[in-house]
Structure 1
Amino acid sequence: MKPSTVRESVEIRRLADCTFRQAVELWNLGFAGYYSDMTLTLDKFIAKLGSEWIRPELSVAAFIGGEPAGFVLVAVKEVDGVNLAWNGGTGVHPAYRGKGLAKLLMREAVAAMKEGGAETALLEVVQKNAAALAAYESAGFLVCDELIGMKRMGALNGISSVQPYAAEAYSTVRAKLQQIAKLPFFRHETAWTSAWFNLKDGEGIVVLDQEGVIGAYVLVRKTYGENGELQGVTLFQCAADSSRPDRKELLCAVLAEAFGPSDEACQRSVSNLSMSDPAVIEWLEAAGFEAVYTQYLMIAKL
């Protein structure tokens, strides 16, 4: 089917007007042959809608000949008085890829985001997905950051000797995510699933110097087994005050605390972490973390 024929024959609906079966079918067909297995069951799809603030009445779906052809999930949430939108997933049926359907869907999605009152929109895209990148750029999105996912198994013994710092010069304390978000050096432009307001079971850790001034923070999630043993740690955000001459030492202190206790043999992961600070990536690589994926963070002012 030629691109012009696709555009003429497509029917655009809102996800709220689709059945649950159609919605899940749209998702699974749209991500068929993707870089990783994105298949979802109905239960997991419904859970995704709720946990990520997806708005079915604003999300768009394309049908051709009555059959599901593509979609864009749209999330909208007010954060500190600002309405933010997020593209929670864009997928096109393999039979209709390369025919301009993704660009059409993105135009519809941006219109829906504006309808929902959003002022800024964010999305993440796999760096090597040139077709998706072009579709997002056509809708006004620009790359604003690079993101990385990493993983490491086993204990972290010896990391203090790889990147030593004067531990007695700093102290670490837990802090509420809402409080950390008020720090002057807090990173607000981040992946949606790494944003403080989406880490319902996450925790914040800050590092204080000897004067009690906060110099760095992390947002993490830790999971524990039935016996209380640490099973996994996932890092979502990490930043230090760029004006501090000791910023590298601050980062070492907060990262060591985030991934500790170091002698616990568990899975340690990094999820959509900003790559804007080379010192953070340097610490992770020195600690034996290996890259799993890289993405672009894109933003559009609506």
Structure 2
Amino acid sequence: MNIKTVSQCTLEEVLRAWNKGFEGYIVPIDMTAEMFLQRLIGEGLSVEHSIVAFDDHEPIGIVMNGFRHMGGKKIAWNGGTGISPTYRGKGVSRLLMEETLAIYERENVEIATLEAIKENSVAIALYERYGYVITDHLQFLSGEYEAKVEHTSAIRTEIIRPEQLPHVQFYQEDVPWQCSWHSIKQGEARVFYNEANDVLGYMLYKTVWGKQGELERVILYQLEVLEEYKVDLLAHFLASVTAQKVNITAVNFRASNPATSYLVANGLKVTTEQVQMKSKSNHSCQPNENPVY
């Protein structure tokens, strides 16, 4: 068994490692070459620091890694760990984790992050043995929504580029990797102000349009109101995009976010739950126990 970086592999090998690695997974994530490359670029994943495990010439496991600087710290993200079904339970996960943590150490990573499906207890236990702890609970939401507001004249809306969000007062930088402005550069952002020009909140999102030019879906990555008791403002925020009934998908919203409760109370359903996990740079590359995965 040997390990190569993604940059040392063919696209066919990497794609096979990914699709076999997530075969039978709780949430299907089978990818075409185009989908994989779009994700690689869009989410800032590194081909030099992502790895594929081989048994002879057969790709049997994969870990995709990305790096960013946020809040003055170097952050690493495990963007997917998959093992081919016939090799699960044979120590491949352990091998990949140890190589991944060694990469993080060489790259002077200060905080390592990842997300895992809430029901995937085997994966969560593996990460915990390598120093990760659960820091948040995340939810995917989906459903039909209609903003019901009487007027929005007291709220000023400023449309900006996602790249400008970090310069907005009160912007929360510590969000799941896929919800950061870095991953949504093709999206849109809005900041909301009151009559005194104080920031009320902001949103980061994408719009999906149909063939006839109709708005089909709004994909929310961040929706924040700065004062929790003012959740009624969220209707005004969403109405600034459309006041018509529309399908909304919310990606990796924190369960504790008032916007999550608001959306559920107004027709959206929880479709998937994840845990966010983090590990500080002082973790050891040796597991706390000696499991075989």
Q: Which of residues 262, 269, 272 in structure 2 aligns to 1:293?
A: 272
Alpha-carbon distance between aligned partners in 2 of 1:25 and 1:250, rounded to the nearest angstrom: 46
Q: How far did 1:44 drift?
A: 2.4
Cα deviation code 1:100-152 (max 9, x no counterpart): 32132112112212323432222111000011111222222221111111111
Report what 1:3 is aligned to: none
Deviates more, 1:99-108 or 1:127-136: 99-108
Alpha-carbon distance between aligned partners in 2 of 1:108 and 1:197, rounded to the nearest angstrom: 26
3-state secondary structure, aligned to 1:56: coil
Q: How far did 1:89 drift?
A: 0.7
Letter in 1 for 2:38: A
Is 1:269 the counterpart of 2:252? The answer is: no
Report what 1:41 is aligned to: 32
Q: Which of residues 207, 210, 233 in structure 2 aligns to 1:225?
A: 210
Q: Which of residues 176, 179, 195 in structure 2 aligns to 1:194?
A: 179
Report what 1:4 is aligned to: none
Report what 2:290 is aligned to: none
Is 1:250 the counterpart of 2:250? The answer is: no
Deviates more, 1:227-236 or 1:179-188: 179-188
Q: Which has the higher helix share?
A: 1
- Kept in 2, the 8 Å contact 1:165–1:252? The answer is no
Q: How far did 1:78 drift?
A: 3.7
- Kept in 2, the 8 Å contact 1:152–1:288? The answer is yes
Alpha-carbon distance between aligned partners in 1 of 2:108 and 2:197, rounded to the nearest angstrom: 40
3-state secondary structure, aligned to 1:179: helix
Alpha-carbon distance between aligned partners in 2 of 1:208 and 1:193, rounded to the nearest angstrom: 26
Q: Which of residues 107, 125, 130 in structure 2 aligns to 1:139?
A: 130
Q: How far did 1:97 drift?
A: 1.6
Q: Which of residues 8, 12, 17 in structure 2 aligns to 1:17?
A: 8
Q: Which of residues 135, 141, 149 in structure 2 aligns to 1:150?
A: 141
Q: How far did 1:293 drift?
A: 0.4
Alignment of 1:72-221 (within 5 A): 72-79=63-70, 82-153=73-144, 156=146, 159-160=147-148, 167-221=152-206
Alpha-carbon distance between aligned partners in 2 of 1:224 and 1:66, rounded to the nearest angstrom: 43
Cα deviation code 1:49-103 (max 9, x no counterpart): 2222221221122223442221111112345754322111100111222333213
How many residue pairs get aligned? The number is 281
- Kept in 1, the 8 Å contact 2:77–2:112? The answer is yes
Q: RMSD of the alignment, in Å?
A: 2.3
- Kept in 2, the 8 Å contact 1:234–1:271? The answer is yes
Structure 2 gaps, min length 5: 282-293
- TM-score by length of structure 1 reads 0.84
Cα distance 1:42–1:245, how it changes in 2: closer, same or farther (>3 A)?
A: closer
Between the two proteins, what is the percent identity of the paired residues? Answer: 30
Structure 1 gaps, min length 5: 1-9
- Kept in 1, the 8 Å contact 2:142–2:269? The answer is yes
- TM-score by length of structure 2 reads 0.86
- Kept in 2, the 8 Å contact 1:53–1:75? The answer is yes
Alpha-carbon distance between aligned partners in 2 of 1:77 and 1:230, rounded to the nearest angstrom: 33
Alpha-carbon distance between aligned partners in 2 of 1:42 and 1:172, rounded to the nearest angstrom: 39
Alpha-carbon distance between aligned partners in 2 of 1:248 and 1:234, rounded to the nearest angstrom: 19
Alpha-carbon distance between aligned partners in 2 of 1:263 and 1:254, rounded to the nearest angstrom: 13
Q: How far did 1:234 drift?
A: 0.5
Report what 2:20 is aligned to: 29
